[in-house]
Amino acid sequence: MIRRALVALVLAALLVPSSAGAVDRSRQHWFDYGQCTWLAYNKRPDIVNYGAENNGFYHWDGWEWSGHARAEGYPVNHKPRKGDIAVWGKKVGGAGSKGHLAYVRALYSQGRVGIVEMNWNGHKDARRRTLTAAYAKKLDFIHHGPGG
């Protein structure tokens, strides 16, 4: 009985189409746990799903997210909004050669931006920090768009 139920669940899962707004398990392996890309994908899977399905984008280092998102039709600029993905370019603001990503969780007075991120300074767990307005102006912010 339990075996039949499990088989039915697996078949149902295979028949349900993937949503642009949901984590696509077939793509989740693209991003290693503990990396900034893993956190960004799990917070905003719409960006990667839309890019892969509609534009054939299959390489997603941190610095590439802004360009891919623009090509997909997502608004990208230097004005953060809650729910955005913050993108560090290569070697920008302390990021390495692959850039960096974070999720915007809050906006504060004086233009400060609250983020959650992984793999900043080697920390593989999700951590929060607040960016100054001057620092945030160096970054791109991917807003909700065609896939989300």
Domain assignment of residue 24, yes or no: no
Residue 138's pLDDT is: 97
Biggest distance spanned by C-alpha atoms of the chain: 61
CA dist 86 and 76 (Å) reads 10
Domain assignment of residue 14, yes or no: no
User: Would you state the structure tokens that stand for residue 13, as one six-digit string?
Assistant: 């899962």
The secondary structure of residue 35, as a DSSP letter, is S
CATH number for the domain harbouring residue 77: 3.90.1720.10
Radius of gyration of the chain (CA): 17
Domain assignment of residue 16, yes or no: no
Residue 63 has pLDDT above 90, yes or no: yes
Mean pLDDT of the 1-17 span? 38
Give the tens place of pLDDT for each residue, 89-143.
999 999 999 999 999 999 999 999 999 999 999 999 999 999 999 999 999 999 9
Strands (E), 50-99: 76-77, 85-88
CA dist 146 and 133 (Å) reads 28
Domain assignment of residue 8, yes or no: no
CA dist 142 and 67 (Å) reads 10
State the distance between the two ends of the chain, measured CA to CA, in whole angstroms.
39
Domain count, the chain: 1
Give the tens place of pLDDT for each residue, 21-45.
676 666 666 888 999 999 999 999 9
Domain assignment of residue 41, yes or no: yes
Domain assignment of residue 84, yes or no: yes
Q: Which domain holds residue 122?
A: 29-142
Residue 58's pLDDT is: 79
Domain assignment of residue 68, yes or no: yes
Domain assignment of residue 148, yes or no: no
Whole-model pTM? 0.81
